[in-house]
Structure 1
Amino acid sequence: MKRKDTSLNHSKIANEMMNYINTYIDTDINITQMAEEFNISKFHFQRIFKEQMGENIYECIKSIRLQKASNLLITNQSSTISKIASLCGYSSQTSFLRAFKQRFEQTPKQWRQGGYKEYSNNILNIYSSVSLIDKYYINIEPQIVKIEKRIAYYIREKGHGNDSRKNWQKLKAWVYTNDIQNYFQLGIYHDNPIITKPQDCHYVSAIVVKVEDVLPNTNLPYFNLYAGLCAKFPFNGKYEDILKLIQWVYHFWLPNSGYEATTIPSYIRFEKNDFFDDSGEFVADFYIPIAFS
Structure 2
Amino acid sequence: MKKETLQKRIKIANDIMYYVYTHIETHIDIDELSQDFGVSKYHMQRIFKEAFGRNIYESIKSIRLQKASNLLLTNKYSTISNIANMCGYSSQSSFIKAFKERFRMTPKEWKNGGYRLYSNWILQQSKGAMQSTADFSDVTATIVKMPIIQSYYIRNKGYNTKNIEESWQKLETWVLSNNVKEYQEIALFHDNPTITPLDECQYVACIATKNEVNSDRLPKFNISDGVYAKFDLKGKKGDFLRFMNWVYHEWLLSSEYETTTKPSYAIYHKNKYLSDDKEFDLSFYLPIQF
For 2:47, the equivalent position in structure 1 comes to 48
What is the alpha-carbon distance in structure 2 between the residues aligned to residue 277 and residue 177 of structure 1?
A: 20
| 1:9-62, Cα deviation, whole Å (9 max, x unpaired) | 111111111111111100001111121122111111111101111001100000
Question: Does 2:31 align with 1:32?
Answer: yes
Q: CA RMSD in A?
A: 1.3
For 1:132, the equivalent position in structure 2 comes to 132
Question: Does 2:5 align with 1:6?
Answer: yes
For 2:237, the equivalent position in structure 1 comes to 239
- Kept in 2, the 8 Å contact 1:151–1:214? The answer is no
**CA gap 1:94/1:168 in 2 versus in 1, 3 angstroms:** same
* Equivalent residue letter for 1:243: L
For 1:218, the equivalent position in structure 2 comes to 216
Question: Does 2:192 align with 1:192?
Answer: yes
For 1:87, the equivalent position in structure 2 comes to 86
* Equivalent residue letter for 1:239: K
- Kept in 1, the 8 Å contact 2:151–2:223? The answer is yes
The CA deviation at 1:225 is 1.3
| 1:98-135, Cα deviation, whole Å (9 max, x unpaired) | 0000000000000001100010001101111113347x
**Structure 2 residue matching 1:285: 3-state secondary structure:** strand
* Equivalent residue letter for 1:44: H
The CA deviation at 1:252 is 0.8
Most deviating of 274-283 and 88-97: 274-283
**Structure 1 residue matching 2:207: 3-state secondary structure:** strand
Most deviating of 33-42 and 43-52: 33-42
| 1:156-196, Cα deviation, whole Å (9 max, x unpaired) | 01011341100000000000111111110111111101111
* Equivalent residue letter for 2:199: Q
* Equivalent residue letter for 1:13: I
- Kept in 1, the 8 Å contact 2:188–2:265? The answer is yes
For 2:283, the equivalent position in structure 1 comes to 285
What is the alpha-carbon distance in structure 1 between the residues aligned to residue 5 and residue 238 of structure 2?
A: 35
What is the alpha-carbon distance in structure 2 between the residues aligned to residue 288 and residue 274 of structure 1?
A: 20
For 2:258, the equivalent position in structure 1 comes to 260
Aligned pairs for 1:27-176 (under 5 A) are: 27-130=26-129, 131-133=131-133, 136-162=135-161, 163-176=163-176
**CA gap 1:9/1:159 in 2 versus in 1, 3 angstroms:** same
Aligned pairs for 1:194-209 (under 5 A) are: 194-209=194-209
The CA deviation at 1:145 is 1.0
**Structure 1 residue matching 2:147: 3-state secondary structure:** coil
What is the alpha-carbon distance in structure 2 between the residues aligned to residue 120 and residue 223 of structure 1?
A: 30
* Equivalent residue letter for 1:288: L
What is the alpha-carbon distance in structure 2 between the residues aligned to residue 107 and residue 255 of structure 1?
A: 19
Deviating above 6 A after TM superposition, structure 1's stretches of 4 or more consecutive aligned residues are none
Count residues with an aligned counterpart: 288
What is the alpha-carbon distance in structure 2 between the residues aligned to residue 280 and residue 18 of structure 1?
A: 32
Unaligned runs of 5+ in 2: none
What is the alpha-carbon distance in structure 1 between the residues aligned to residue 181 and residue 160 of structure 2?
A: 27
**Structure 2 residue matching 1:55: 3-state secondary structure:** coil
What is the alpha-carbon distance in structure 2 between the residues aligned to residue 218 and residue 277 of structure 1?
A: 27
What is the alpha-carbon distance in structure 2 between the residues aligned to residue 107 and residue 57 of structure 1?
A: 25
- Kept in 1, the 8 Å contact 2:128–2:237? The answer is no
**Structure 2 residue matching 1:199: 3-state secondary structure:** coil
What is the alpha-carbon distance in structure 2 between the residues aligned to residue 183 and residue 231 of structure 1?
A: 22
The CA deviation at 1:285 is 1.5
The CA deviation at 1:255 is 1.3
* Equivalent residue letter for 1:178: N
* Equivalent residue letter for 2:195: I
- Kept in 1, the 8 Å contact 2:132–2:238? The answer is no
* Equivalent residue letter for 1:187: A
- Kept in 2, the 8 Å contact 1:272–1:279? The answer is no
What is the alpha-carbon distance in structure 2 between the residues aligned to residue 268 and residue 63 of structure 1?
A: 21
Unaligned runs of 5+ in 1: none
For 2:178, the equivalent position in structure 1 comes to 178
* Equivalent residue letter for 1:123: I
* Equivalent residue letter for 1:24: H
**Structure 1 residue matching 2:180: 3-state secondary structure:** coil
What is the alpha-carbon distance in structure 1 between the residues aligned to residue 46 and residue 144 of structure 2?
A: 38
